Structure 1
């Protein structure tokens, strides 16, 4: 092994060896672990969420592979209809060509060219992370066989009455010029206004000649076809049945009562524009109102409205408000914050728009999909996301699946212009099967991207062409994904899989936390607070990045990533947590190197608990193996990362290796000590491998065989060439090493040693200075155990003598420092080595100084003027300083108590 580990040099070399082998492919095994990667956009790049998602999946797959299961991690990408078309449109415009000039066929060719040129970026990034995904059988949602699966689903649902065409309100993006589903719309709170407009009555009612409506969108008034009031509002009852003359247009529209109206909103009179608001559309249907589209696909006012025709929404709003003001019909304007829908792709404000679209009727699909979760056939991790799924399923509306794009799966519905025949077909037709006419054309729209990706778990595995390929590999093991697509994707996958296969698509849904910037805001390139996983890998290595991300999986909904950026350049500077993960990688490497340098004459053999330390570490090893095994299998990655980190760093490196150094020099104990150390190291590397694959694989290449490589009768098995192919240390095979009494005994002894060492460190005493120690305890079993461990404690802690006494008649030794433990007190006799009185005075001064500093910081934080005016980062630093001073004071007080 090299003296130091360089991930930049080591990781690419290891990756090439993995790729050259066939370990990423599926092999026969006992049990199955099949996972489909949530397909990223074909032109996408890896972000922090992707990196965490992929690290989780790789940990699951690597552990299952080592446990001898048949594993396959299916990689693929999504054609990303809107995103890809937008990018290709932009590229063509830069070249001076428009999509319409190019034509549909050539534009689609341009999209294919784009995906071929830019589509491999994310694959290379996932590969560099060390993800053991099957790259040889990459799938794409526009592959020919996948496209056939999509058509099969559409046709079957169409013929079963689940897909229909209708004129309905949809969320329309005037920029992308396509419909967007409700679940794709993003809501942004925006500061706006409430305009109160006067609408004249055709005939006065009780001496009143007009009503006042309140609206946040005066530009849509051109399409008003009714005025609604609440039936619970008695003050408006006399006006129900009256008629209003719509200003500007002159259209006579009725006033009616409807329970959709909140009598407390605005004036209680609500303008109803059925073509431009979902609630208004529902009221219009119920009351037989006309639906009038006043906008075209670009959200410009259509012809027929005089000076307002051709204006976009913002221009129309300004001009209409001005018209009302000029004609004395503008009552007043109030400030009003409201929620506005935006396109999830281009961030344009969406327009509720009445248009002809294709829909999936969900009533027959949602029942079985709901039961799949309530019955436990599909389990969410963390469980709280189950309610998010069920709530959405209870209120789900019919799914708008048509998109006004060219790139994507074209809707397979054909029309005959001669006889009016219409049908959905698996294969294209040019001649009408009814009349023989040749004027047949296909629907111009394409399918929503989520329609095709809902088939991901089974269409990627051969359905419907070779359904037998699914046997034993479907349902898949787990879907690892983000919470924001539980409705968009997870629910729809369950619905489609139950319909076509009669089974759920996966057993588990693992929702990973959303990674936020350090200040709690969303990561974004435009904000300059997004961290590129490739930058983290370049600086710290893939293992460190993966381990840090996995340690963030604590069950929380959101987690903060501690990326720091240069305030002048905006460049990424550092991540303290990832640096800590890199330090762990270095610790593993250095400890392994030390052990392997001391393996001269090593011969394999079973581990034996010759000493209390051996029994302790073997018991801790067995428990850690059980915790890590269950942690990965139960998707508790944060707990798993902390468990293995604590065991390897604190117990193996800081304690066990240290206490065995003298035994390695003793000829009589060297051979067995070597076997124990190699066994512990080997098991530890295997447990670490799913989380940190590179450094563990690098060390494995220098490892001799351990007892894990032998059968129970002592016969050698062929040692795996790669750690990723080695056997997992199953908890059952290690359970015999669990020894609670030995663990307790060693932990007690370790506490005494730690107390002596902390005293030496605090008072800067030489490690060779022999100290006397007195232990006081009221627990007989503790006293007995510590007496049994006296030789070990004295030897490792440089203690000249150790006495263990009961509390009765015990007097604190002169010149001693006290460390309090749960079941006993440790009195370390420092004698003349430390001036205890001077130390008391020093601590008192430091406590007084720290309390004065804390009081100053707290005065600043209690100043509301400071809190309101200071930059958030300055306030945050002050609060952190207050916490640091509080902890410092407590530590100093504890030290002072030790001297009492």
Structure 2
């Protein structure tokens, strides 16, 4: 049975024990503000973090087993590069995953967070190559393939410990026994199995297509490994003389002119094209021109791809060096002409410019064009240039022979899975974007001309045989020199890490996984491919949910980059604020939008931990009335239990829907404002026999709710409070419908509003000391709480020289004011009213001036009107208050 709650509008008769109770309150306040023996006044994050992570590992707190009686909850960690260091994107994403896996573990799931690292083909190869040049003056070609690969393997093994150690520093609750590496023997077997099965199914083929080519690495690279930046260059007019002897064109010129940012590529031109509806060039279609220097005759054709508004409206077609030109040449039926060597120099097809670099050839071609009178207008022009993410070399679109995956057959089941809701994506816009990408998908280049990585399992026999197999099928067979794109191997991550292609217990139990958290830039390159490959090889989607988190920007809102010098190191933040404070701050800022990192959020996280620490110290030193769990709870007791119950439900729902920012705001608001600012203060001045137990129970619940976000500090506080074992393994608070209590919530809402109104009045009127008053209007409040926190003694007929009526929502407080307070408050109000009357008059005069209204900026006029309305409203309120005192 619940206890009574609140009293009538006039309050009860005067309390005969009021003075005695107030003395007890003062004594209790003195006790609880004293020191707490053996407990530091300040939380030390570094000491606690190192100690608790070691304890979690020793206790096996993160280890998951196949337990059929439990429902599994699996997250596979997006594998960071083996050469990587923890950056802010990692810090946010790993915090998100750790929050969800800790929550699942506490909710009773068999929770597995499976860690791993990626072998990072191009990254490792670049680092090792630079190291070779720097330390030994050698290239990979000097070492040979076998020795170079061994150097890469040794480097990767040594460097991967860095990122793994930093994950521990973050608090990542992964099952370290299951650490996976994309170059492990079992994982390599999964990669080779995938390639061979796709090859045998006719979905992997060899073909010539345009790729992103890095001349320094002498390899094709993926779209993600290309950085595009605005570049200030030139737009060159190139004149192609007519070769058919039919005389000048319709404009009287003896040439067709084209604009290009890369004049050296003209050496590989196979055609000129105009738009079929461009009336300027209708007579040119079908004519022929000569490519200068290589003296190649090419035709002029019509194609709808041409933009008539760019340059002269005539486009040169260089199919070996531009993806759009490649498509145009294919439609017309023209063969490409390649003018580049793998290192980016001009080959024999470049005529007199052979062996020059691209930059040298560009200068030479422009000079020779000018000499021949074939250089037209040269304009300044800004355009995007792609560079290799690893080495900074300008990328060349280049026609090369590569291995490709035919994607449309793989994409169709993935499209259906996304459309049908088998996979939820947060936010949903990224599900729709991924569907669009899949519907317009192109074949995937999976080969790289590197040495470090998974060697393509294709063998060429002496008789021209081509065989896909793990090992050479016979004498005289040579293996393809290329390796597989890293994204090919990582596309198998959700199931290859669990033992596939073997049908392991782990695979049957933990797959499909429940969630993947990732950044948007790899939604297509990785996430979509995992969906396709998961459906192809397991017949199931690889994960039920995808969380696309925001990107952490620098303080000025720009993308972090080493070249800009604006990179924020999360480890420095951990040292400065503590890991939990940084984690909480990141979650508090995260949303569907990118955000500029705010150090203030880390400060906020640290202050929050300090607040919780002080609450813990208060609870440990609390000397309230004798605890009696059988006693009736007060209205305040019932209110805090109902509010915590509501918060537990809403917080859990927000985390389920990946609303991390809202979840962080919710628990922060409850712990700091409802619990600390109100219930803890109530516990000091108006306790009940139930208060000690409820204080501990609610605070313990707050620690359990917060543990997934702030694991170290909450574990430390739980231990200090004598919690039942490790917090990491305790039960996550569950919503209990029986704790709903609308009556208590409503009455405490009125009570708090009434207390706030009195406190505001005291601040304005500088009114100290005890006052008398009553609650008017028929609304009930919790009397003991109101009297203790407001310093107002409730009475049926409070006596005073005047009455101040305070409206606080649906509760009205009437205060009886002593004569000296009335006099001082009257003087204050008269002075403030006089000031406001002057402000209102000034605003009215200014707004009555037509010139001001017409000529001043609209924002200035609007601000003046808003100021007038605000001051007029306050003036009316103060005049009403003054009238009560007269």
TM-score (norm 2): 0.87
Preserved contact between residue 267 and residue 349 of structure 2 (Cα < 8 Å): no
- How much does 1:759 deviate? 3.2
- Specify the alignment match of 1:157 in structure 2: 198
Specify the alignment match of 1:808 in structure 2. none
Equivalent pair of 2:338/2:349 in contact (CA under 8 Å):
no
- Describe the superposition over 1:463-521 as per-residue Cα deviations: whole angstroms up to 9, x where unpaired: 01234431121110100000110001000000000000000000000011111112210
Q: Which residue of 2 aligns with 1:859?
A: none
Contact 1:794–1:802 (CA<8 Å) still a contact in 2? no
- Aligned residue among 472, 483, 489 for 1:446: 483
**Which is worse superposed, 524-533 or 475-484?**
524-533
Q: Is the 8 A contact 1:790 1:802 kept in 2?
A: no
In the TM superposition, what whole-angstrom CA distance separates every residue of 1:284-321 from its partner, at most 9, and x where no partner exists? 12222221111112222113535422222222222212
Give the alignment partner of residue 115 of structure 2, picking from 40, 54, 75.
75
Which residue of the partner structure matches residue 5 of structure 2? none
**Which one of the candidate residues 447, 461, 464 is aligned to 1:402?**
447
1: CA distance between counterparts of 2:840 and 2:152? 65
**Counterpart residue number, 2:467:** 423
Q: Separation in 2 of the partners of 1:444 and 1:561?
A: 44
2:217 counterpart of 1:176: yes
Measured against aligned partners, the alpha-carbon deviations of 1:766-793 in whole angstroms (never above 9, x if no partner) come to: 4xx113456665xxxxx3324xx34431
Contact 2:268 2:350 in 1 (8 A): no
Give, in angstroms, the shift of residue 887 of structure 1.
12
| Equivalent position of 1:458 in the other structure | 495
1: CA distance between counterparts of 2:868 and 2:717? Answer: 43
Which residue of the partner structure matches residue 18 of structure 2?
none
Q: Distance in 1 between matches of 2:671 and 2:429?
A: 32
Among residues 384, 392, 399, which one is paired with 1:354 in the alignment?
A: 399
Matches within 5 A, 1:212-251: 212-251=257-296
Higher mean Cα deviation, 754-763 or 193-202?
754-763
Answering whether residue 868 of structure 2 is matched by residue 823 of structure 1, we say: no
- Residue of structure 2 equivalent to 1:698: 716
Pick from 527, 542, 552 the counterpart of residue 515 of structure 1: 552
2:640 is the counterpart of 1:640: no
Q: 2:729 is matched with which residue?
A: 725
Question: Are residues 404 and 849 of structure 1, via their aligned partners in 2, closer, same or farther at CA, if it must alter by over 3 Å?
Answer: farther
Report how far residue 892 of structure 1 moved: 8.7
Could you say what secondary structure the match of 1:356 adopts? Answer: strand
The corresponding residue for 1:539 is: 576
- 3-state SS, counterpart of residue 614 of structure 1: helix
Counterpart contact for 1:774–1:803, Cα < 8 Å: yes
Q: Structure 1 residues 803 and 86 mapped into 2: Cα distance closer, same or farther (>3 Å)?
A: farther
Matching of residue 622 in structure 1 with residue 652 in structure 2? no
Match of 1:899 in 2: 878
- Show CA shifts across 1:750-769 (max 9, x none): 01101222333455544xx1
Partner residue in 1 for 2:770: 770
Q: Is 1:10–2:48 an aligned residue pair? A: yes
* Distance 1:836-1:252 versus aligned 2 partners, 3 A rule: farther
CA–CA distance in structure 2, aligned partners of residues 279 and 166 of structure 1: 17
Q: Which residue of 2 aligns with 1:558?
A: 594
Q: Return closer, same or farther for 1:774/1:62 CA change in 2, 3 Å cut-off.
A: same
1:586-597 paired onto structure 2 within 5 Å: 586-597=610-621
SS of 2:95's equivalent in the other structure is: helix
State how far apart, in whole Å, the 2-side matches of 1:261 and 1:626 are: 58
Q: With CA pairs under 8 Å and 6+ residues apart, which has the higher RCO, 1 or 2?
A: 2
What's the secondary structure of 1:357's corresponding residue?
A: strand
Contact 1:544 1:581 in 2 (8 A): yes
Kindly state the Cα deviation for residue 538 of structure 1 after the two structures are TM-superposed: 0.7
Cα deviation code 1:403-428 (max 9, x no counterpart): 11101001110111x21111111x21
Q: Answer whether contact 2:268 2:349 (CA < 8 A) is retained.
A: no
For residue 868 of structure 1, what is the aligned residue in structure 2?
none
Q: 2:63 aligns with which of 25, 31, 50?
A: 25
Describe how 1:439-518 pairs up with structure 2 within 5 A: 439-518=476-555
DSSP 3-state at the match of 1:283: helix
Measured in 2, the distance between the counterparts of 1:315 and 1:152 equals 46
Report the structure number with the largest CA radius of gyration: 2
2:737 counterpart residue number: 735
Tell whether the 8 Å contact from 1:819 to 1:898 is kept in structure 2 after alignment: no
Residue 747 (str. 1) matches residue 787 (str. 2): no
- CA distance 1:154–1:844, shift in 2 (3 Å): farther
Q: Give the CA deviation at 1:596.
A: 1.7
CA contact (8 A) 2:426 2:546 kept: yes
Confirm or deny: 8 A CA contact 2:519 2:550 kept in the other structure.
Answer: yes
Change beyond 3 A, Cα 1:524–1:498: same
Q: CA separation in 2, counterparts of 1:843 and 1:318?
A: 79
Alpha-carbon distance in structure 1 between the residues aligned to 2:40 and 2:840: 46
Corresponding residue for residue 123 of structure 1: 164
Paired residues of 1:609 and 1:615 also in contact (CA < 8 A): no
Query: Once the two structures are superposed, what CA deviation does each residue of 1:579-599 show, in whole Å capped at 9, x if it has no partner?
Result: 111000011111012112226
Tell me: CA distance 1:483–1:305, structure 2 relative to 1, closer, same or farther (3 Å).
closer
Q: Which residue of 1 aligns with 2:762?
A: 760
Once the two structures are overlaid, the 10-residue window that deviates more, 183-192 or 354-363, is 183-192
Asked if 1:89 is matched to 2:89, the reply is no
Q: Kindly tell me: are residues 387 and 820 of structure 1, through their superposed partners in 2, closer, same or farther at Cα, counting changes over 3 Å?
A: farther
Unpaired runs of at least 5, structure 1? 433-437, 563-574, 706-718, 778-782, 806-811, 853-878
Q: 1:136 to 1:579 in 2, by over 3 A?
A: same
Relative to structure 1, is the Cα distance of residues 703 and 373 closer, same or farther in structure 2, using a 3 angstrom cutoff?
same
Distance 1:772 1:297, change over 3 A: farther
Provide the rounded CA distance (Å) in 1 between the counterparts of 2:255 and 2:740. 86
Structure 2 residue runs of 5 or longer lacking an equivalent are 1-38, 843-858, 880-886
Cα distance in 2 for residues equivalent to 1:419 and 1:847: 103
Is the contact between residue 35 and residue 477 of structure 1 (CA under 8 Å) also seen in structure 2? yes
Distance in structure 2 (CA, Å) of the matches to 1:266 and 1:604: 88
Deviation at residue 373 of structure 1 after TM alignment: 0.5
Q: Which residue of 2 aligns with 1:613?
A: 636
**CA deviation map 1:17-69 (0-9, x unaligned):** 11111111104362111100000001101111111111111111111111111
Q: Are the counterparts in 2 of residues 836 and 899 from structure 1 also a CA contact under 8 Å?
A: no
- Residues 415 and 422 in structure 1, CA contact (< 8 A), matched pair in contact too: yes
Q: Is the 8 A contact 2:836 2:875 kept in 1?
A: no
Answer whether contact 2:589 2:601 (CA < 8 A) is retained.
no
User: Equivalents in 2 of 1:84, 1:842: separation in Å?
Assistant: 72
TM-score (norm 1): 0.85
- RMSD of aligned residue pairs (Cα, Å): 3.1
The CA deviation string for residues 87-131 of structure 1, in whole angstroms up to 9 with x for no partner, is 111111111221110111111111111112211111111111111
